[in-house]
Amino acid sequence: MAEKHFDLENFRNIGIIAHIDAGKTTTTEAILYRTGLSHKIGLVHEGETTTDWMEQERERGITITSAAVTSFWKGCKVNIIDTPGHIDFTAEVERSLRVLDGAVTVFDGKMGVEAQSETVWRQANKYSVPRICFINKINQIGGDFYKSLESIHRRLTKNALPVHLPIGFEKEINGIVDLIEMKSYTYADYTDHELVVGEIPADMLEKAKNARSLLVEAAVEADDELFERFLENGEDSITIPELKAALRKRILAGDFYLVTGGDGRGVIVEKVLDLVVDYLPSPLDAGSVWGQNPKTGDEIERKPESKEPLAGLAFKIATDPFVGRLIFVRVYSGKMEAGSYVLNTTTGEKERIGRIVRMHADKREDIESIEAGDIAAVVGLKGTFTGHTLSDIAHPITLESITFPDPPVSIAVEPKSKADQEKMGIALQRLAEEDPTFRIHTDHDTGQTIMSGMGELHLDILIDRMRREFKVEANIGEPQVAFRESIKGNSDVQGKHAKQSGGRGQYGDVWIKFEPNEPGKGFEFIDAIKGGVVPQEYRKPVEAGIRETLEGGVIAGYPVVDVKATLYDGSYHDVDSSELAFKLAGCLATREGIRQAKPILLEPVMRVEVTTPEEFMGDVIGDLNSRRGRIEAMEDLNGGAKLVKAFVPLAMMFGYTTDLRSMSQGRAASTMELAQYEEVPPNVAQEIITKRSSK
C-alpha cells in the first residue's frame, strides 16, 4: 500500500524516556488518542495500553521492550518509541536513543528527578539527543511543577526553562499559560478535547512576564543580530516567529531544554506534540551520518536524502507470532524497497528485504518502501542483528554499531524433560537474538546452561517468556555473580613446551611479560619480537593460547580481564616446532605469569539509589553498610522523602527489593545499575576461591 509522502523537514523521530512509573506509556497512549490512532486512552494498570502489548508488561504495569508507533500531527509524521524505565532494560533505551533524533523526557511531578531519570539523561547526552521536558502528574496530590523544575536544575541542568506555566495547583489544574504567545489555554476536564484560548489570569501575569523574560534572554544567545536588538530595544522588539526560531536553534545545539507540565492523560498532550513539531529536530536538522568504507576503512558521508545510496541501522529485533522475525531499521539515507537486495556490511552477506511493515506497537501495516529519515520494521532478514548496518550493494558503508555492557547476573537453567531440552535451545537462541544484553553459555565444569542478564527482573522476565511463548518448562538455579580475575603486578615468564616421544617431537618456547591494562580495556597482545627468534606463523598461535587460558581463568576459573601480554623472546626448532606447540607454550606462560603477577578477584559493584521516607533513613543506611556498601551522598527530595546514593557489591544485593519493602512498610523504592568492577577484599576473595574449587 502506498503511503502519503512527507518532506524530510516534517519528520520527527522521538523517544519517550523517563524513570519507571513517571508516565511514559500513558503519555504515549494520550498522544495516540489525540492524533486519532486509538479511540480511547488505554490505562497501564488495567493492562489495555497499545505500546505495552506483551503479557508480562500488562501484568506488571511496566514497559519491557521499546515499542514503535507512527502518528501524524499538524502536517508532520511523528515516529514515537516508548522506552522502558526499569534499569534492567536500560539497553532498550540505549539502542532507541542511538537511532532517534529527539526525545521527550518525562518526570513524575510528585517525585521530580529520580534515579533512572538521571541515567536516561546521561544516555541522551552520550548520543547528543536534543530533548524537551514534560513534568507529568502535576494534577495529583503532591504534584508540584515548580519543585520538580527545581530538582531538574539541581540534579540535571540549569539550562531548562519553562515554556508553559500550569494554571491552578494539584487537582485544580485546568490549563497552561503559553509564555511564547502570552495566552492561556484552559479546558473543562481532562477527557475534554476543547482548549479554550484566553487571557492570562491576573494573579499569574507578573510571574508569566518574568518567566518570559528569562526565555527571551536565553533565546537571543543563539543569534548575534537578535542579541544586539534585544540589548538596544528590549524583548518587545523580538517577534514570536523570531523567538521560536532562536529557541529551536538553542535546543538543537543540545544544551538547552524547554519544560512543560500537565497530566499525561489529558488535553495538555496536544501542547507536548506542538513542542515536538516546533522545536525537536527533523532528520535534516540531525544532518549527515558518517561511516566507514568496509573495504578501505575510509570515512564516508551519507546525507539524509532519498537519492543517496542506502544506509540503515538495525537497532532492534523482535519475534512476532504472525510474521516471524522483525528487524527495526532506521534509514539514514537512500531508499529501502520490499523485494530488493541489500548488503549487511557487518557480516558481508547479501540479504533480501521480504516485506516492510509500518508498526503501531504490535499491529502491522504493509508498505512498499521506506526512505531516508524514516523508521520501520523489515521481515525476511535472516543474518541481521542489533547494531548491523544495511547498505547499498554497490556503495557499502558501515555505521557505528551499538555497544552494550556485559551482563553481571547469571543463573543456571535446566530443562525439566527430554521434550523441553530441544525447545529450550531454540527459545534461548531466539531470546538472545532479540536482546543483546542476554547471553547464554555452557559451564564446561558442570555442563549446565548458564543464562546471564542485567538483573534479577531481567532474567525473571526472560524465563517467563520462555515458559509462555515457547512452552518450555525449566528448573532454575540461584542467581550467581559474574566475577572476573585480573592482576595488580608485573611478571616476566618463560613458557616452554618440549616433548620427545620417538619420531617428530613438539617444541615451542616463548618469553612473555604480563602487566595490568587500563580498567575496561580488556586483553591486549603486543608482538615485540625482534628478528626471527619466533617465526611470524607461530605468533598468532601464542596469542590464541594466551586468550584461551585467560578466558578459563587462573585462580578461580573466572575470565581474566584488563591484562597486557608482550611476547618479546623465545626459540624454535626447525623440525619439531608447530602451531600447536607454540599455542601450548602460550598457555603455560599465561598460567605461571598470572600467578606471579599478584592476581586479584574483581566483582561487579552497583550504583544503588534508594528513595525512602525520612523515618526509615537510619535502617536503610545501616542495611546498606551491612552489605559492604559505601554511602556516597544523601539528598532531600520533594514531599519530605530522602535519597540515598551508594555503591554496593552485586553479590550482596540479591533479594534487596523484598528486604527494603519489609524494612520500610513498602514505602521505600530502589534502583541499581552496574557502576564498575572493583577488587574483592582479600578475606571475601579467599572464601569465593575456596567455594569455587570445592565444586
Residue with the larger pLDDT of the pair 449 and 149: 149
Buried b (16+ CB within 10 A) or exposed e, 63-79: bbbbbbbbbebeebbbb
What does pLDDT average to over the chain?
82
User: In terms of residue numbers, what domain contains 629?
Assistant: 601-694
Same domain, 578 and 606: no
With 80 as the cut, is the pLDDT of residue 474 above it? yes
Same domain, 389 and 436: no
CATH number of the domain that 363 lies in? 2.40.30.10
Domain boundary among 448, 482, 516: 482
Q: What is the mean pLDDT of residues 419-429?
A: 84
Same domain, 547 and 564: yes
Nearest to 485 by CA among 553, 548, 565: 553
Same domain, 14 and 52: yes
Q: Distance between CA 286 and CA 332 in Å, rounded? A: 10
> Which pLDDT score is estimated for 65?
43
> Which pLDDT score is estimated for 140?
81
pLDDT tens string 583-638: 999 999 999 999 999 999 999 998 888 888 888 999 999 999 999 999 998 888 76
CATH number of the domain that 188 lies in? 3.40.50.300
Q: Distance between CA 187 and CA 320 in Å, rounded? A: 41
pLDDT tens string 525-545: 999 988 888 898 999 999 999
> Which pLDDT score is estimated for 66?
43
Kind and range of the H or E element at 414? strand 409-415
Q: Distance between CA 431 and CA 208 in Å, rounded? A: 52
* Whether 404 contacts 435, CB under 8 Å: no
Grid cell, residue 687, equals 572464601
With 80 as the cut, is the pLDDT of residue 453 above it? yes
Same domain, 294 and 334: yes
With 50 as the cut, is the pLDDT of residue 85 above it? no
- Residues with Cβ within 8 Å of residue 531, at least 6 apart in sequence: none
CATH number of the domain that 664 lies in? 3.30.70.240
> Which pLDDT score is estimated for 591?
94
pLDDT tens string 165-224: 988 887 777 788 889 989 888 877 655 556 788 888 888 899 999 999 999 888 888 888
Angle subtended by helix axes 224-233 and 205-220, to nearest 10: 140
Cα-based angle 461, 463, 467 (whole degrees, multiple of 5): 115
Same domain, 593 and 607: no
Q: Distance between CA 235 and CA 246 in Å, rounded? A: 13
> Which pLDDT score is estimated for 587?
95
424: in domain:
yes
Q: What is the mean pLDDT of residues 484-495?
A: 94
Q: What is the mean pLDDT of residues 71-94?
A: 70
Q: Distance between CA 367 and CA 375 in Å, rounded? A: 12
With 70 as the cut, is the pLDDT of residue 56 above it? no
Nearest to 311 by CA among 285, 270, 346: 346
Domain boundary among 567, 597, 627: 597
Say which range, 442-451, 505-514, 556-565, has the weakest mean pLDDT: 442-451
- Residues with Cβ within 8 Å of residue 415, at least 6 apart in sequence: 421, 423, 424, 472, 473, 474, 475
Q: Distance between CA 676 and CA 337 in Å, rounded? A: 44
- State what percent of residues in the chain have pLDDT above 70: 86
